[in-house]
Structure 1
Amino acid sequence: MHRVVVLALDGVYPFELSIPVRIFGTAADSRGEPLYEVVTCGLDPGPVVTSADFAITVEHGASAIDDAGTLVLPPFECGPGVPRDVLPSRLAAALRRIRPGTRVVSICTASYVLAAAGLLDGRPATTHWNEADRFRRAFPAVRLDPGVLFVDDGDVLTAAGVASGVDLCLHLVRRDHGSAVANRVARLCVVPPWREGGQAQFIDRPVPEPAAASTSATRQWALGELHRPIVLTELAGHARMSVRTFSRRFREEVGMTPGQWLVQERVRLARHLLENTDLPVDRVAADAGFGTGASMRRHLSGVLGVAPLAYRHAFRARTASA
């Protein structure tokens, strides 16, 4: 059983602290057997102060990190005058317990801890959009992308603010055990299995007048038409907007262009069909709107780094055995 260790530091935010145990703790195989063991620890066993008006008590100290398959760091509130970009000596010592091969995950501003420890140097990462400028100044060696909900760089993963921790944990369940298990976890937790767009849709901006139209209905319509070519003028016409207005509002709401979004959704549909059906690759490509198997292979390889048949072999096997 894969062991997930969650490190609760003084000032921890309770909501984010609870995400890993809720998501990983819900994941089970077809017999109902848990797929993960989730352990919460502090630097020492005992009380941990939270950012709320209550404390928690953990049974485990930092030695729990020794056996972690995945280590998750939720965000925490620093004390007055304590800089986020400086790693306290006891926390640095705890992180040195991470064994090779352990996945390390940060949620929200816990990315500062990974960056201060040097774990993000030269690597892609994200953090809460409101911290992006400060983070870049503190850690110029990190390839920060503040426009996404999370970044998966293999053994180091970073999530943006708050609920994006849910997105990232579900992504890990999907990566480990396939979409069927992750989707069941999402249903049981009453959350979407994935969310459209990135952080751009949550960044402060002037609120549009109530009469302003949204691209939401057109996106829903387009999801039912992915099997065929869809052009920008058709999307704008469905939304009853000019192409220029539609493109601007689409990017504001979703955080990417309509073309990028269509490719993303087609890749998701192709992944679902590869994982859950025995349809030939060319039929999957047609049903997902890629037209040809070659086109789908190019897009899947660009996004996932694997060819369709290799992806099916990996995830159909995991789903069947789950």
Structure 2
Amino acid sequence: MHTIAVLALPDTIVFDLATPVEVFGRARLPDGRPAYRVVVCGTEPVVDAGPLRIGTDVGLEGLGRADTVVVPGRNRPEERAPEAALAALRQAAAEGTRIASICVGAFTLAQAGLLDGLRATTHWLAADTLAAQYPEVDVDPESLYIDNGQVLTSAGAAAGLDLCLHLVRRDHGVAVAADTARLSVTPLHRDGGQAQFILRNPPTFRTATLEPVLHWIEENAHADLALADVAAVARTSVRTLNRRFHEETGQSPMQWIAGVRIRHAQELLETTDYGVERIARQVGFPSPSTFRTLFRRATGVTPRAYRVAFQGQEDAA
């Protein structure tokens, strides 16, 4: 039987740990037999996990006896994991064990050197930090999960469920994975390339010199803005404005404005029943077709699909 070892480190995120325990623990083969044996491994018999305490089945030696190791995230992922755990992960990888991370568990894999030279994902809020701390990792903040064969990573919370179902499908086929998805009351169809629902150009973005300009854009993105308008607010030339934006945000001024408009549209799709034409006009896009194109490019889904994901209902979008 395929053994899944879930690694419980101090400060583990309980949701991340529970997801593989529940998904793999409930998966059944067509004849009714369990598809997996699940064990929780840890650096100590009882591990602190926020307000909870988690008892482990075995110590780190359990990683070496597993076919797959799943590494949940931790509440403070940037803090280095225990060296004994990192060494155990490296040893397991060297012996060919499949290793997967959920959410910011990617930091633990990066600390062990298991993501060097690989494309990886994590929760979009932590993606920039992961990329900055581990430049040898090709961080993709868009994907729900990434399968490199032996090493896999996933984005936040729900994407961990997608990754676990993907592994069930890899191991036992679509029928077993679909049955497992039904037990979890979740769809099976979300693949790793589907975009995370990222919050674009948040109003809390901090920058050395552009913060007053970004605040002005936040309040005026709905208007028919040109580069000259933004440059006038910044009291600088268009050329200097473009340079500062690229240096401090990684985007052009018009790309930033489009991102703010997309975020405003996301909020309206989540909270209202307005149609696409009204939303496009209200947030500042010149036409519904331009809005649809840019929204899909930014989020990976259509406005209609986005609304269904958040409101669970179809509409005129």
Task: Work out which of the two has the higher radius of gyration on C-alpha atoms and give 1 or 2.
Answer: 2
Give the partner amino acid of 2:138.
R
1:94 and 2:88 are equivalent in the alignment: yes
Deviation at 1:3, TM superposition (A): 0.6
Deviation at 1:256, TM superposition (A): 5.5
Kindly indicate whether the alpha-carbon contact (under 8 Å) linking 1:104 and 1:155 is maintained by their aligned counterparts in 2: yes
Kindly indicate whether the alpha-carbon contact (under 8 Å) linking 1:85 and 1:138 is maintained by their aligned counterparts in 2: no
1:135 and 2:130 are equivalent in the alignment: yes
Q: State the distance in 1 between where 2:290 and 2:110 align.
A: 39
Q: 2:59 aligns with which of 58, 61, 78?
A: 61
Indicate the SS of the match to 1:208. Answer: helix
Matches within 5 A, 1:45-194: 46-51=45-50, 53-78=51-76, 84=78, 86-98=80-92, 99-194=94-189
Deviation at 1:92, TM superposition (A): 2.3
Moved over 6 A (4+): none
1:247 and 2:244 are equivalent in the alignment: no
TM-score, normalised via structure 2 length: 0.66
Deviation at 1:59, TM superposition (A): 2.7
Q: State the distance in 2 between where 1:76 and 1:94 align.
A: 17
Deviation at 1:214, TM superposition (A): 5.8
Deviation at 1:135, TM superposition (A): 1.1
Matched residue, 1:317: none
Q: State the distance in 2 between where 1:201 and 1:19 align.
A: 22
Q: State the distance in 2 between where 1:16 and 1:87 align.
A: 16
For the structure 1 residues 35 and 208, does the alpha-carbon distance in structure 2 shift closer, same or farther, using more than 3 Å as the test?
same
The unaligned stretches of length 5 or more in structure 1 are 216-240, 262-322
The unaligned stretches of length 5 or more in structure 2 are 203-262, 278-286, 306-317
Give the partner amino acid of 2:41.
C
Q: State the distance in 1 between where 2:295 and 2:131 align.
A: 28
Q: State the distance in 2 between where 1:68 and 1:140 align.
A: 30
Q: State the distance in 1 between where 2:158 and 2:276 align.
A: 23
Give the partner amino acid of 1:255.
G
Give the partner amino acid of 1:245.
F
Matched residue, 1:208: 268
Kindly indicate whether the alpha-carbon contact (under 8 Å) linking 2:118 and 2:137 is maintained by their aligned counterparts in 1: yes
For the structure 1 residues 214 and 199, does the alpha-carbon distance in structure 2 shift closer, same or farther, using more than 3 Å as the test?
farther
Deviations 1:221-259 (A, max 9, x none): xxxxxxxxxxxxxxxxxxxx842222233344x42689x
- How many residues in Structure 1 have an aligned counterpart in Structure 2? 227
Q: State the distance in 2 between where 1:129 and 1:242 align.
A: 27
Taking only aligned residues, the RMSD between alpha carbons, in angstroms, comes to: 2.4
Identity fraction in percent: 42
Matched residue, 2:12: 12
Deviation at 1:26, TM superposition (A): 1.7
Give the partner amino acid of 1:247.
T
Deviation at 1:54, TM superposition (A): 2.0
Q: State the distance in 2 between where 1:149 and 1:8 align.
A: 22
1:33 and 2:30 are equivalent in the alignment: no
